[in-house]
Amino acid sequence: MPLIVHKYGGTSMGSTERIRNVAKRVAKWARAGHQMVVVPSAMSGETNRLLALAKELAPPKQTDALCRELDMLAATGEQASSALLAIALQAEGMESVSYAGWQVPILTNSAYTKARIESIDDRKIRGDLAEGKIVIVTGFQGVDDDGHITTLGRGGSDTSAVAVAAAMQADECLIYTDVDGVYTTDPRVVPEARRLATVSFEEMLEMASLGSKVLQIRSVEFAGKYRVPLRVLSSFTPWDIDIQEEARSGTLITFEEDEKMERAVVSGIAFNRDEAKISILGVPDRPGIAYNILGAVADANIEVDVIIQNISKDGKTDFSFTVHRNEYARTMDVLKTKVLPALGTDRLEGDTRICKVSIVGIGMRSHVGIASKMFRALSEEGINIQMISTSEIKTSVVIDEKYMELAVRALHRAFDLEQPSS
């Protein structure tokens, strides 16, 4: 009997009527002979509402103790939606049971608000499936070795679903969202954006890391590591759509690079508004300086993205990097208190009005001139590039935030992404 994992986002769970439709869809798959595990997000807006309440009461400085309580609070959103879905399935005549992450358990490390899954004990889930029940597991959360509830960061329900699918060796993991697949870029920015029938795991990993909101990056990492068949599709198609048609819809994240995919030089344009740039000026140019700076940032559990060190002049250099905008103030504090005094400089600059725009495509491996074509398209629009980062299958630029949409439209047009692949 095939084992299928469904994941439903907050919009899909946004009201009792939508939860009822999810229950009907899941019941359809169960009646078709599939063992079903469902991972729902909190109802749309619920996590934001809870965290807004916390913000009104929180002390000015973020501590581990505060982050622990934020996880305790935020985890309740998924617990509510999971219980509601179980109730709706029972109303459909289906046996169902819901579990919080700590009940499974889904074991994580203790990095509150952005924990990482370490292991999943699937015995309880398998036992219920063997009894013919539909099992619902809260997304976004787990429990550490000390029994504290943890959360996985925004979009963490994607990661929960793929991790459960990997642990149980599911036949497929279907990620239901409010869009009908992965597009060449955000259709709200470029109305001509095209839905991709397939996208390679490597491309999806890059797009997720570069700002695409369709899937959380760690969910794609899990899918790649454990080779979990993954499909992104819409929860707003009629629930009674033919199950075979539904199983072929959306976008398939594939591990095979077929000939058609190899001919696609650039598959998509990703962008991220949530970036901030930090520059330390007049840094001594000596071995270990990058570690001295970024080691302290890493110790504060802050992720760094694009990094640039300028050519040395008179024994001094400038060192710049980007972080998530939510981490900007904390990063500046770490640098001022722990890094600058040791470097003998106080020349620190920051800019929160930047964004990152990227082109992604596995075809870039075997084609020359792609980066220059990107830079020409931006130049023709008068857009200045502040930082550049590249890999085998992507090129990213940091630019002024006010030019983001113009840049995305220009690049989408330059690489003919509105046209179907030949």
Rounded Cα–Cα distance for residues 397 and 404 (Å): 11
> Does any domain span residue 122?
yes
Mean of the pLDDT values across residues 164-187?
A: 94
For the record, the structure tokens of 327 come out as 């981490």
pTM of the model: 0.83
Same domain? For 49 and 195 the reply is yes
Residues 6+ apart with CB under 8 A from 372: none
Mean of the pLDDT values across residues 160-188?
A: 94
Residues 6+ apart with CB under 8 A from 217: 205, 208, 209
> Does any domain span residue 56?
yes
Same domain? For 334 and 356 the reply is yes
Same domain? For 223 and 344 the reply is no
> Does any domain span residue 80?
yes
Look at residue 168 in the predicted model and tell me its pLDDT.
Answer: 96
Domain boundary among 256, 281, 310: 256
Contact 367, 415 (CB under 8 A): no
Per-residue model confidence as pLDDT tens digits over 31-81: 999 999 999 999 999 999 999 999 999 998 889 999 999 999 999 999 999
For the record, the structure tokens of 280 come out as 């330390």
Please check the confidence at residue 410 and state whether its pLDDT lies above 50: yes
- Which of 145-149, 212-216, 272-276, 402-406 is predicted with the least confidence, judged by mean pLDDT? 212-216
Burial zone of 1 (CB within 10 Å; 0-12 exposed, 13-18 middle, 19+ buried): exposed
Shortest CA distance to 350 belongs to which of 273, 277, 272, 274?
Answer: 277
Confidence of residue 264 (pLDDT cuts 50, 70, 90): low
Same domain? For 303 and 203 the reply is no
Per-residue model confidence as pLDDT tens digits over 244-253: 999 999 999 9
Same domain? For 280 and 235 the reply is no
Please check the confidence at residue 120 and state whether its pLDDT lies above 70: yes
Mean of the pLDDT values across residues 170-188?
A: 93
Confidence of residue 342 (pLDDT cuts 50, 70, 90): confident
> Does any domain span residue 70?
yes
Look at residue 420 in the predicted model and tell me its pLDDT.
Answer: 62
Same domain? For 311 and 239 the reply is no
> Does any domain span residue 261?
no
Look at residue 285 in the predicted model and tell me its pLDDT.
Answer: 85
Rounded Cα–Cα distance for residues 195 and 180 (Å): 8
Same domain? For 123 and 221 the reply is yes
Look at residue 217 in the predicted model and tell me its pLDDT.
Answer: 86
Residues 6+ apart with CB under 8 A from 325: 273, 274, 275, 276, 352
Please check the confidence at residue 262 and state whether its pLDDT lies above 50: no
Same domain? For 285 and 191 the reply is no
Element at 136 (helix H, strand E) = strand 134-137
* Dihedral (Cα; 267, 272, 397, 404), 10-degree rounding: 90
- Which of 139-153, 251-265, 314-328, 364-378 is predicted with the least confidence, judged by mean pLDDT? 251-265
Rounded Cα–Cα distance for residues 292 and 343 (Å): 9
Same domain? For 278 and 166 the reply is no
- Compare 421 and 126 and report the one with higher pLDDT: 126
Domain boundary among 199, 232, 256: 256
Burial zone of 44 (CB within 10 Å; 0-12 exposed, 13-18 middle, 19+ buried): middle
Mean of the pLDDT values across residues 335-361?
A: 92
Q: How many domains does the chain have?
A: 2
Same domain? For 185 and 44 the reply is yes
> Does any domain span residue 140?
yes
> Does any domain span residue 275?
yes
CATH of the domain at 360: 3.30.2130.10
CATH of the domain at 99: 3.40.1160.10
Look at residue 419 in the predicted model and tell me its pLDDT.
Answer: 64
Burial zone of 384 (CB within 10 Å; 0-12 exposed, 13-18 middle, 19+ buried): exposed
Buried b (16+ CB within 10 A) or exposed e, 389-417: beeebbbbbbbebebbbbbbbbbbebbeb
Task: Look over the chain and give the mean of its residue pLDDT values, rounded to a whole number.
Answer: 92
User: What angle (nearest 5°) sits at the alpha carbon of residue 124, between those of residues 120 and 129?
Assistant: 115
- Which of 157-171, 283-297, 302-316 is predicted with the least confidence, judged by mean pLDDT? 302-316
Same domain? For 186 and 331 the reply is no
The residue segments making up the domain with residue 293 are 268-414
- Compare 168 and 212 and report the one with higher pLDDT: 168
- Compare 359 and 314 and report the one with higher pLDDT: 359
Mean of the pLDDT values across residues 264-279?
A: 91
> Does any domain span residue 349?
yes
In the chain, the amino acid numbered 105 is: P
Helix (H, G, I), strand (E, B), or coil: what is residue 363?
A: helix
Please check the confidence at residue 1 and state whether its pLDDT lies above 90: no
- Compare 257 and 361 and report the one with higher pLDDT: 361
Please check the confidence at residue 231 and state whether its pLDDT lies above 90: yes
Same domain? For 353 and 250 the reply is no
Domain boundary among 256, 291, 313: 256
Shortest CA distance to 292 belongs to which of 328, 341, 333?
Answer: 341
Neighbours of 3 (CB within 10 A): 18
Please check the confidence at residue 421 and state whether its pLDDT lies above 70: no
